[in-house]
Amino acid sequence: MTIMLEIPDSVVLAMRLPRKEQSRQLKTELALSLYAQGILSFGKACELAETTKIEFGILLGKRNIPRQYDEQDLQDDLAYASR
């Protein structure tokens, strides 16, 4: 499933971004916002932003967005590491 988002021409023209960067920047902003709200997981936010986990982590740090990492995430990571 793909979602096409319509943005009015007046808004597109008002964006202070080079045309070539608009799509990627909007995806990144959406990914950061959805991750910060707990709507997307870290991995899916990376996928939406089309970045590596390291790059996305750096973006989170620059925006002061805390990583969402709970006890279950720790248990999953420990179980994976012990395989």
Q: Per-residue pLDDT tens for 14-66?
A: 999 999 999 999 999 999 999 999 999 999 999 999 999 999 999 999 999 99
Over residues 67-78, mean pLDDT: 85
The DSSP secondary-structure symbol of 39 reads S
Residue 82 and residue 75 in contact, taking contact as beta carbons nearer than 8 Å: no
- Report the candidate in 5, 6, 48 with the shortest Cα–Cα distance to residue 25: 48
| 73 pLDDT above the threshold of 90 | no
Residue 49 and residue 27 in contact, taking contact as beta carbons nearer than 8 Å: yes
